[in-house]
Amino acid sequence: MPTAPRPRTSTRDPEELARRLTAWLGTRLPGAKAVSVRVPESNGMSSETLLFDIEHPEPPLRACALRLAADPDAYTIFPVYDMREQYETLRDVARHTDLPVPRVLWLEEDPAPLGAPFFVMERVDGRVPPDVMPYTYEGNWLHSATDAERAHLQDATIRLLAHLHDQYPAPAPEGSALRAHVEAQRAYYAWVVEGRPSSPLIESGFAWLEDHWPADEGAPVLNWGDARIGNIVYDGFDPAAVLDWEMAAIAPREVDLGWTVYLHRFFQDLTVSFGQVGLPGFLRRADIERDYARHTGHVPRDMDFYTLYAALRHAVVMLRVAYRQIHFGETTAPADPDTLIMHHGTLRAMVHDDYWQADM
């Protein structure tokens, strides 16, 4: 089981954030107080989350969550963090679909109150499949569930993607949405390695994409972007809130599906590498493709391409995280930068076209 410390997620003082939040809240809701302000253990590195309650006579006590853009001086994971776009995406998804997304309350684009832009939304209580230790490890609520309960959760989750892709108004196509998406990832990679060693493995992944480009990209849809169960709050085994829309984009449906498939495989492969069985019958690629087709009538295609693309995108993020750890002195730079990517073996197998043969 991994024992390495988790990379730091913030350089900010939580008590100072709480004090400044209380001061700001009074400008939006006179007489209100922010109470029980806390930082969740699962706080991310691309942005920060604060949980708090609003104490005010009208309305009564309200549970809230605040998404705060990363400190620009703290070696951020992404070059740009557009809080307005996230706020408006959450609002528009709530308007146009039946997805359970948190209700957004306020957007603050002035960095002065908390040091960076942020937005506030209502907090939805429930349980989330953990990343640390992963839900594929023994002992957590999802691993301890029955096969029938996990099957119910899986189907309900794929149905979320189906409803998002089918219900959200289709964007007008302007050229290749897939090409635009991939080029944005190339630009992100170039930013990650600026002044740092490049990754031959990642670059071979981009070359593989060009050699296997889909003949028919299909009509673009709104993609959630970070489509995985670790970004969903569940009430029992039913989705209660779909979170983390920072990577939402217009792209083929399979971009979301590939991400769902791959991110589960990332945790499953990691679990097996540490001697556990994991959840081999859960979120299998063939089952996801089947369930999505059943809910939409659209049969996913070119999934080798889209799952490799997901692994490649994840590799770029992980390389940035590793360089951030080096920046903060949490680790040292290896001779081979590819080894900074935890799943470098998986990505290499995908590039060599021999990853999916044993298990679809």
Per-residue pLDDT tens over the stretch 24-62: 998 998 888 888 888 876 545 567 888 999 988 776 668
Q: Is 323 a member of any domain?
A: yes
**Above pLDDT 70, what percent of the chain?**
92
Q: Known catalytic residue: 226?
A: yes
pLDDT computed for residue 15 by the predictor:
78
Cβ pair 181, 306 in contact under 8 A: no
Do 341 and 254 reside in the same domain of the chain? Answer: yes
- Total of domains in the chain: 2
Q: Is the torsion defined by CA of 180, 182, 186, 187 positive or negative? A: positive
Q: Is 113 a member of any domain?
A: yes
Do 174 and 286 reside in the same domain of the chain? Answer: yes
Q: Is 116 a member of any domain?
A: yes
Catalytic residue among 216, 226, 287, 354: 226
Do 245 and 324 reside in the same domain of the chain? Answer: yes
* Mean pLDDT score, 110-127: 94
Across-strand partners of 121? 65, 104
pLDDT band at 72 (very low <50, low <70, confident <90, very high): confident
Question: What whole-number distance in Å separates Cα of residue 50 and Cα of residue 3?
Answer: 26
Per the structure block, which two tokens stand in for 249? 């984009």
pLDDT computed for residue 78 by the predictor:
92
pLDDT computed for residue 7 by the predictor:
47
Whether residue 8 is predicted with pLDDT greater than 90 in this model: the reply is no
Domain containing 153 — which CATH number? Answer: 3.90.1200.10
Across-strand partners of 52? 64
Cβ pair 287, 158 in contact under 8 A: no
pLDDT tens digits along 135-175: 999 999 999 999 999 999 999 999 999 999 999 998 777 89
Domain of 239 in residue numbering reads as 147-351
DSSP state of 329: T
Q: Which of the pair, 115 or 204, is modelled with greater confidence?
A: 204
Question: What whole-number distance in Å separates Cα of residue 67 and Cα of residue 316?
Answer: 23
Question: What whole-number distance in Å separates Cα of residue 144 and Cα of residue 48?
Answer: 30
Q: Is 358 a member of any domain?
A: no
Exposed/middle/buried for residue 30 (C-beta within 10 Å: 0-12, 13-18, 19+) = exposed
Do 192 and 106 reside in the same domain of the chain? Answer: no
Do 244 and 185 reside in the same domain of the chain? Answer: yes
What is the identity of the amino acid at 179? R
Q: Is 137 a member of any domain?
A: no
pLDDT tens digits along 182-191: 999 999 999 9
Whether residue 2 is predicted with pLDDT greater than 80 in this model: the reply is no
Do 174 and 84 reside in the same domain of the chain? Answer: no
Q: Is 197 a member of any domain?
A: yes
Do 215 and 347 reside in the same domain of the chain? Answer: yes
Per the structure block, which two tokens stand in for 334? 């290896």
Torsion, CA 110, CA 112, CA 114, CA 116, rounded to 10: 50
pLDDT band at 3 (very low <50, low <70, confident <90, very high): very low
Do 238 and 157 reside in the same domain of the chain? Answer: yes
Do 159 and 89 reside in the same domain of the chain? Answer: no
Whether residue 5 is predicted with pLDDT greater than 50 in this model: the reply is no
Do 153 and 110 reside in the same domain of the chain? Answer: no
Q: Is 231 a member of any domain?
A: yes
Question: What whole-number distance in Å separates Cα of residue 54 and Cα of residue 33?
Answer: 6
Whether residue 21 is predicted with pLDDT greater than 60 in this model: the reply is yes
Is 169 in a helix, a strand, or coil? coil
Exposed/middle/buried for residue 210 (C-beta within 10 Å: 0-12, 13-18, 19+) = exposed
Q: Is 6 a member of any domain?
A: no
Do 88 and 190 reside in the same domain of the chain? Answer: no
